[in-house]
Structure 1
Amino acid sequence: MKLKPLADRVIVKLVEAEETTKGGIILAGAAKEKPEVAEVLAVGPGGMVDGKEVVMTVKVGDKVITSKYAGTQVKLDGEEVTIVRQNDILAIVE
């Protein structure tokens, strides 16, 4: 199955959290924080959204930081992805 986002929607996949700390300590499953960085898998075309022109500023392959509780989670071919609006993306990681 393939998803094609509409309007100002972006499909992202969360990047796995580090399993060791900088000091080399291995973290247990419960101690890991939810990852904040996601990779953009697909980008909608933009256009008129709620009466305003939206120009898409992210592109496929970008690493981004999204709002923690933003978007809708969907299972796609066994992988969990999130569909968010572009305005729920806080920053592009360079």
Structure 2
Amino acid sequence: MKKRSRLEGFAEEQTLLSKERTLLSKERTVLTEITVFIAVIALGFGLIRFFEHSQYEAATTYLGIFVILFGVLGILLSIRGYRKYSNEAGSLERSINNSD
């Protein structure tokens, strides 16, 4: 009997470690997405600044603003997705702990 309970404890520990790895992986993915969207925002500012005194100033200004807003929206959606995933993972873990 003692071996079985030790194996069950080991299995539970492995399950928790795998959940932690998955959550850390999701965090890493979100940080990468945020980095990319910050670069997109910088591109928008670069478009506005680079074409500041050209004949297409109005068009590139609008394009730059659109690119900046796209980057901000991307960051917000990334954070929202992470929070949703984190809440679902937390509620799943609580339900597993309560069933034991």
Q: Do both share a fold (TM > 0.5)?
A: no
Query: How high is the TM-score relative to the length of structure 2?
Result: 0.23
More strand by share: 1
Query: How high is the TM-score relative to the length of structure 1?
Result: 0.24
More helix by share: 2
